[in-house]
Amino acid sequence: MTGIDPVAQKLLYSIMQFNKGKWRQHKPSGRNHNEIMVLACLLHGSHPGERMDWRDNPPDFENHLNQEHPGLKVSEISALMRVKSPTITPVIRGLEDEGLVERTMDPEDRRAVRITITDAGRAIIRAAHEERMTTFNRLVEHLGEEDSLQLAALLSKVYTFFDTQLSGQNEASEDPNATAGQDHQPDAQENQANTQDNEIPEQGAAKQGDDTP
């Protein structure tokens, strides 16, 4: 058993305490985490956490995605959020019921459905962004600019470390000889994702209230 490093233990407890913070329970503009993330992915066409150029290229809530943008499939949204499609399907239905997103047919595949954000959805994500920026502006005032920049750099390193480590563990857990010489067979999750993309979410479904990704 690996010896307990007091520095590592202190770091672990700090991250655990951070994850328990009340700030995670806050709902900007009254929206839960999954709703905000779906709207943000639709607005940017990518996961908002991967937009590292916001300082020089802030989000454009009005015209970032023009009318020619085809939107995203359910499977594409779930991939960006790193969750399974059934997790966000009720979220999308709830947002659609409120007129924050809409469904369109894929111009290249009439069997597939794409989700696009509406003007009302843009207004929600804009308000949520402004609310969060107000909070983080206060945090910068509390920490000071130098410590804030250092914290941002350290958090980016932490994210990269865990993301790389988990990716390596997942690759190592796969048997490279398991599918050798065999034709690719779609697994259950892949089939489910394809089904979600080809289905039009039903109207009137209950709004998703679970804030857990």
Structural domain span for residue 124: 24-161+189-198
Helix residue ranges per DSSP H, the chain: 6-19, 33-44, 74-81, 85-97, 119-143, 145-173, 188-198
Q: How many whole angstroms separate alpha carbon 154 and alpha carbon 14?
A: 14
The pLDDT score that the predictor gives to residue 194 is 56
Q: With contact defined as beta carbons under 8 Å apart, do 121 and 95 qualify?
A: yes
The pLDDT score that the predictor gives to residue 53 is 45
For the question of whether the overall pTM of this predicted structure is more than 0.85, the answer is no
Which CATH number fits the domain that encloses residue 143? 1.10.10.10
Is 120 domain-assigned? yes
The pLDDT score that the predictor gives to residue 2 is 61
User: Which token pair is 194?
Assistant: 């394809």
Is 34 domain-assigned? yes
DSSP SS3 for 200: coil
Q: How many whole angstroms separate alpha carbon 199 and alpha carbon 170?
A: 30
User: pLDDT means per 10 residues in the chain (213 residues)?
Assistant: 81 85 75 89 69 49 55 89 89 95 83 89 90 92 97 91 76 54 49 56 42 38
The pLDDT score that the predictor gives to residue 205 is 41
Is 156 domain-assigned? yes
The pLDDT score that the predictor gives to residue 178 is 46
